[in-house]
A = this chain, B = another copy of it.
């Protein structure tokens, strides 16, 4: 069968981003306000079309930089100590997910430390960090007792999948450190787990677990007192990327 362009239907391919961070003890996602139909005025995940000469990961990294200014952390650059974690999440291709045309969206998951105010192409009022609980509740009320419309398209599903991926992945990997600044304390790391999982963890057992896992944390020698209380040792993420045995998420 020779190459026949009419043998397959054309698709538009986009990348959508679930960008997560931890702010004020809550897991938050980046949302942008749609300026055009469909779903005009509603909140959505950031994203855009994949360009003709671009890999999917490149497109996701480009969109992430455009929306947040974040560079993606590249393991091949050892000196580069900052930058977000970015990974492919899943692909969504329901024929009716975009009323305009057939769009297949390759969703990506990005994890970032707490950032300054977001920018969406320079317009701050059209982008915000919102607690994922608030974005996922359908037709409820947000923090300001302001009615919240569901996310545009199937973005609520994408966000839920991204949050679930993050929740499960910090169990068995060092991914939680992606939410932390380059140097952090055990308590700050514990608060990341608590925010992402929405549970309280025993500080003593947590401390034993993370400091007792070889290669997970590397002490930098410094201490800090930015949390109040007794000064805490500062750490950097160690080379170990897998956590074995995993951190156990408490039952329910």
Contact = CB atoms under 8 A, between A and B. Distances in A.
Interface of A: 1-3, 5, 7-14, 36, 49-56, 88, 90-95, 100-102, 104, 106
B7 A93 contact: no
B7 A10 contact: no
6 contacts: A8-B49, A9-B49, A10-B11, A50-B104, A55-B95, A93-B106
Q: How many chain copies?
A: 2
B106 A9 contact: no
Contacts of A88: 90-91
A10 B102 CA distance: 10
B3 A52 contact: no
A59 to B, nearest CB: 8
Contact of A95 (B53, B90, B94): B53
Contacts of A12: 8, 10-11
A61 to B, nearest CB: 13
Contact of A91 (B5, B36, B91): B91
